[in-house]
Amino acid sequence: MKRTNQFDVHPRSAKEREVFVRWLDASASLWNETNYARRQAFLEDDESVWDADTGSLEGKYKGVLSSSVAQQIIRKNSESWRSFFSSNEKFHAGKLDEKPSPPGYWGNEEDGRVLRTYVRNDQYTIEYGNRSRLEIPIGSELKDELGLNRNQRLRVEIAGDPKWDGEQGRLELVYDELADTFRAYQPVAIDDSRLDSLLASEEAALDVGANNLAACTTTTGQQLLYEGRDLFEQFRETTEQIAHYQSLLETQCESSKRIDRLYRKRTNRRNHAQDSLVRDLVERLYDEGVSTLHVGDIKGVLSTHWSPRVNEKTHNFWAYRRFINRLKDVCEEYGITVNEASEAWTSQECPECGERKETVRHEDSLTCPCGFEGHADLVASESFLRRQNNTIGLMARPVYLKWNNHEWREHHNPLSLAVETTANEEYTNQSTATRGNIALGDSDD
Ligand SMILES: [Zn+2]
């Protein structure tokens, strides 16, 4: 089995922090320069992307990044190009509706930059204790600035207990500029009798929505639903607060700092929930033996039969592009191929009789004149999967997941059903408890 430990990274001084950010920033620059050279070569008829002079780029950046990190970034870029070429082949063979795009540039996020880098499994160490710490390789230029010896590495403090113990994989470090947070993701391989990575051949399809952030069906008959209403409510409340402070801005210039802080809080919360969702989902798919994940392209997500309000929600609140990029990165770690495919109509298609026009979608349910009734998003992911793969196992009871500001927890019932049973005292208490958590979350910014 493969699992991921997640840590918060805390540079100890302003200098260390500055160096750390520059190291991550240089990773993005190296990626972008490598990618630019390869895109230029790609546009020329008689050139190959593999001819781009990455050796001199490695030389240019190793003083900041260290050789091993520079090599890792270039290798990562090569992986992206290989995956692009394989999608392109599929497109030309008629197996993909949308023409794939060559790998994009790093650091152009909608709300603030997110910088990331990768460290090979044998190039970093993590020590646990009272003060847990992470040691990572940096280039000689940065070592000189910090007064480190040539054979020393950058040592930063980390917070968070390792949930999993096993052989460590490629470390991913992420800096979220807007939220001003550093995170480390350490994948580990846990001893397991199953040779799952060799046997994995199952498939899954994902429907990305707004009320329910993600609905997924696997060929093993598993269904997962990640509920997003509370998260969206938090997002909306913060947006209203921002609007309120903005309306006061002309008279009180000093409150703009408060607005920045609210924006950061809003983005940080969303990103945290999104990153955790991706990890939770991919780990579950990996355990099911999934090797291919079909994801609808953005046209399918921002489909015309949805209200502008829903589309805006998917765009601004759920940051669809960021979600897909994140999903691709984590799937790659787990050896799962992401296939972007058209999913037009699947959200209105009856899985029993194939009817599209006469079905009625109301909130979370889809009903068909043939008598079928089901959860609209789960049905959409199931129809989408059937279109890609006809061999789906017997459907198990869906797993409903809800975000508690910390992790995605399983619930037995779809939440919308629980809300309707207002007489249920237990549920009322539960929702009060959740409110309390949100209030606590407010104070730690
Ligand atoms: Zn039907």
Give the residue from 271, 163, 187, 185 showing the smallest Cα distance to 6.
Answer: 185
Span from the CA of 360 to the centroid of ligand 1 (angstroms): 10
Q: Give yes or no for residue 232 having a pLDDT over 70.
A: yes
Which domain-ending residue is among 157, 192, 227?
192
Task: Kindly report, residue by residue over 301-323, the tens digit of the pLDDT.
Answer: 555 555 666 666 666 777 887 88
Span from the CA of 353 to the centroid of ligand 1 (angstroms): 4
Q: Give yes or no for residue 36 having a pLDDT over 80.
A: yes
Q: Which pairs with CB-CB distance under 8 Å and at least 24 residues apart come from 367-373?
A: none
Query: Do 155 and 240 fall within a single domain?
Result: no
Q: Give yes or no for residue 195 having a pLDDT over 60.
A: no
Average pLDDT for residues 253-279, to the nearest whole number? 83
* 445 vs 178: CA distance, rounded Å: 13
Query: Do 58 and 126 fall within a single domain?
Result: yes
CA dihedral 244, 249, 254, 260 (to 10 degrees): 60
Task: Kindly report, residue by residue over 85-129, the tens digit of the pLDDT.
Answer: 988 888 888 877 778 889 888 876 655 677 889 999 999 999 988
Query: Do 374 and 303 fall within a single domain?
Result: yes
What local confidence, expressed as pLDDT, does residue 431 receive?
Answer: 33
187 vs 190: which has the higher pLDDT: 187
Query: Do 127 and 221 fall within a single domain?
Result: no
Span from the CA of 375 to the centroid of ligand 1 (angstroms): 13
Give the residue from 213, 239, 228, 268 showing the smallest Cα distance to 441.
Answer: 268
Task: Kindly report, residue by residue over 207-216, the tens digit of the pLDDT.
Answer: 887 678 899 9
Query: Do 232 and 95 fall within a single domain?
Result: no
Give the residue from 232, 243, 321, 239 showing the smallest Cα distance to 273.
Answer: 232
Q: Give yes or no for residue 375 having a pLDDT over 80.
A: yes
Tokens 């200098």, located at residue: 15
Span from the CA of 336 to the centroid of ligand 1 (angstroms): 33
Span from the CA of 383 to the centroid of ligand 1 (angstroms): 12
Span from the CA of 146 to the centroid of ligand 1 (angstroms): 67
The number of domains in the chain is 2
Query: Do 283 and 168 fall within a single domain?
Result: no
Q: pLDDT band for position 299 (50/70/90)?
A: low
Span from the CA of 358 to the centroid of ligand 1 (angstroms): 9
Query: Do 112 and 253 fall within a single domain?
Result: no
Span from the CA of 367 to the centroid of ligand 1 (angstroms): 8
Query: Do 204 and 183 fall within a single domain?
Result: no
Q: pLDDT band for position 387 (50/70/90)?
A: confident
Task: Kindly report, residue by residue over 49-67, the tens digit of the pLDDT.
Answer: 998 899 999 999 999 999 9
Span from the CA of 361 to the centroid of ligand 1 (angstroms): 12
- Mean pLDDT, all residues of the chain: 81
Query: Do 179 and 242 fall within a single domain?
Result: no
Span from the CA of 306 to the centroid of ligand 1 (angstroms): 21
Span from the CA of 356 to the centroid of ligand 1 (angstroms): 8
Full domain range(s) for residue 75: 1-192
Span from the CA of 204 to the centroid of ligand 1 (angstroms): 23
Query: Do 187 and 261 fall within a single domain?
Result: no
Span from the CA of 369 to the centroid of ligand 1 (angstroms): 6
**DSSP β-ladder status, 290-296 and 337-341:** parallel
* 249 vs 251: CA distance, rounded Å: 5
Which domain-ending residue is among 192, 220, 241?
192
Query: Do 65 and 88 fall within a single domain?
Result: yes
Average pLDDT for residues 354-381, to the nearest whole number? 87
Query: Do 110 and 200 fall within a single domain?
Result: no
Average pLDDT for residues 246-261, to the nearest whole number? 73
Span from the CA of 310 to the centroid of ligand 1 (angstroms): 25
Which domain-ending residue is among 161, 192, 223?
192
Q: pLDDT band for position 23 (50/70/90)?
A: very high
